């Protein structure tokens, strides 16, 4: 049975690269009917923080990743690491240096690794110096505790980032010294930033938490991340985790580094937002509005739903909704100053808009059809272009030059607000 694991160190936020590692391990376990286990690598007492641990676990769940069994915590297993290190010491393959226990690396050997993703990798032990197993403060090194625990958790496949390739030969030496069965290793090429360097903070936002805050849907982020390292075939790009579980084949994982493309992620997020039912988006959008400081306590769900319906094909992130649709929720909405100059600093246009507003007063049922008819009549009567009425009106009621269809916006916003704003009564 396949047994894989994800082993986060709770010393910071969950990085996109780590989230991708977790996703692939999870996909592999779920595809094969195996187990996906967690191991918390919190040996660094100073830098580890339960706040990060909670956030990482929460982010994994948010992405749709579940795990089998309770996670194991390295901080609780220090005596096990010491016992294993002393076993190696007793076999004459290590030495003490003060409190530390150090593994003696036998020179002149070549270690061969058959990587699932990269194929054969050979490393000469001449290039590996002696390895600390237990540090003088009593804590284990990453490489040593990793081997002890991968064996303890009976891990069959270790799938992790390329940044660990240089660790793997050292870990193989520990497997040998402890006479343990080797798992198979697969190293995933790192995610690169637009400039070709490893994706890092330097490139902007890199943690799952921040993407969540920016209004990305977990389905979209997970979908995008699995495309960075695996090709589902037949040019398929938008696929759910369930579909990915069915199609996943570890042999199809790419050995080339993938570039992180925020535009593509935004596009994908837009696709998922568009496909969601308005009822599903409603609670997410309400959260956004609250976080952005809008008082929606007396705003009807029905009103918000209509606006969501108008904008779900236009927003790429949930956060964008607030920018696009602020004018539905407050009178002091943001105004595009350039658009204002272009469309509202003109007496003739203002005059057309005034006439439009006057005629709207007489409209009983404030429906988009009725509004459009009046607009068309004015255009015809005055022999002007429709744009000469539409742009100023859009600007006056929304402060924007773009958005959903003007007449739809007007209907939803309601007669009183529309007319007041067109007449410049409330701004």
**Residues binding ligand GLU (CB under 6 A):** 7-9, 41, 146, 160, 164
The pair of structure tokens assigned to 101 is 């226990």
What b/e sequence results for 75-113 when a residue is b if at least 16 CB atoms lie within 10 Å of its CB, and e otherwise?
A: eebeeebbebbeebbeeebbeeeeebbbbebeeeeebeb
Name the helix (H) or strand (E) containing 132: strand 131-134
- Alpha carbons 130 and 125: distance in angstroms, whole number: 10
Residues 74, 75, 81: CA angle, nearest 5 degrees: 60
Nearer to ligand GLU, 41 or 411 (CB): 41
> What's the closest the beta carbon of residue 44 comes to ligand GLU, in angstroms?
10
> What's the closest the beta carbon of residue 41 comes to ligand GLU, in angstroms?
4
The yes-or-no answer on residue 350 being catalytic is: no
Which ranges of 276-325 does DSSP label H, i.e. alpha helix?
Answer: 278-291, 301-311, 318-325
> What's the closest the beta carbon of residue 25 comes to ligand GLU, in angstroms?
9
Nearer to ligand GLU, 53 or 273 (CB): 53
Nearer to ligand GLU, 143 or 398 (CB): 143
Nearer to ligand GLU, 145 or 223 (CB): 145
The pair of structure tokens assigned to 37 is 């286990």
CB of 41 closer than 8 Å to CB of 147: no
> What's the closest the beta carbon of residue 76 comes to ligand GLU, in angstroms?
16
> What's the closest the beta carbon of residue 9 comes to ligand GLU, in angstroms?
4
Catalytic residue selected from 201, 213, 259, 330: 201
CB of 230 closer than 8 Å to CB of 24: yes
- Alpha carbons 289 and 400: distance in angstroms, whole number: 19
Report CA Rg, the chain.
30
Nearer to ligand GLU, 146 or 412 (CB): 146
Catalytic positions are 201
């Amino acid at each position: 049975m396949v047994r894989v694991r994800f082993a986060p160190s709770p010393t910071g936020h969950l990085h996109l690269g780590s989230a991708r590692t977790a996703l692939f391990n999870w996909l592999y376990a779920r595809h094969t009917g195996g187990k996906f286990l967690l191991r918390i690598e919190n040996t660094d007492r100073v830098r580890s923080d339960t706040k990060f641990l909670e956030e990482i676990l929460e982010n994994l769940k948010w992405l749709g990743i579940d795990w089998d069994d309770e996670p194991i915590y390295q901080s609780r297993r220090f005596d096990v690491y010491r016992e294993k290190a002393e076993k190696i010491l007793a076999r004459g393959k290590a030495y003490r240096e003060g409190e530390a226990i150090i593994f003696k690396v036998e020179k002149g050997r070549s270690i061969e690794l058959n990587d699932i993703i990269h194929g054969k990798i050979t490393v000469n032990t001449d290039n590996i110096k002696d390895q600390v197993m237990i540090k003088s403060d009593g804590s284990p090194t990453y490489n040593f505790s990793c081997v002890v625990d991968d064996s303890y958790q009976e891990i069959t496949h270790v799938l992790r980032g390329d940044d660990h390739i240089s660790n793997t030969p050292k870990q193989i030496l520990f497997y040998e010294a402890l006479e343990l069965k080797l798992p198979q290793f697969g190293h995933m090429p790192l995610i690169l930033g637009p400039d070709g360097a490893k994706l890092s903070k330097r490139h902007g936002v890199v943690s799952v938490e921040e993407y969540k805050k920016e209004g990305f849907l977990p389905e979209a982020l997970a979908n995008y991340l699995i495309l960075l390292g695996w090709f589902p075939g037949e040019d398929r790009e938008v696929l759910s985790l369930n579909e990915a579980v069915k199609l996943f084949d570890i042999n199809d994982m790419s050995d080339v580094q993938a570039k992180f493309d925020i535009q593509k992620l935004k596009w994908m997020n837009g696709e998922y937002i568009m496909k969601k039912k308005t009822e599903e988006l409603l609670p997410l959008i309400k959260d956004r509005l609250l976080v952005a400081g809008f008082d929606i306590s007396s705003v009807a769900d029905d009103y918000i739903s209509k606006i969501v319906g108008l904008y779900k094909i236009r927003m790429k992130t949930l956060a964008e909704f607030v920018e696009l649709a602020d004018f539905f929720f407050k009178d002091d909405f943001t105004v595009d100053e350039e658009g204002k100059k272009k469309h509202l600093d003109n007496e003739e246009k203002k005059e057309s808009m005034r006439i439009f507003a006057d005629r709207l007063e007489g409209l009983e049922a404030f429906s988009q059809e009725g509004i459009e008819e009046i607009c068309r009549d004015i255009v015809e009567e005055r022999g002007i272009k429709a744009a000469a009425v539409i742009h100023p009106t859009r600007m006056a009621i929304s402060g924007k030059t773009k958005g959903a269809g003007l007449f739809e916006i007007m209907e939803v916003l309601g007669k009183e607000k529309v007319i007041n704003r067109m007449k410049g009564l409330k701004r």
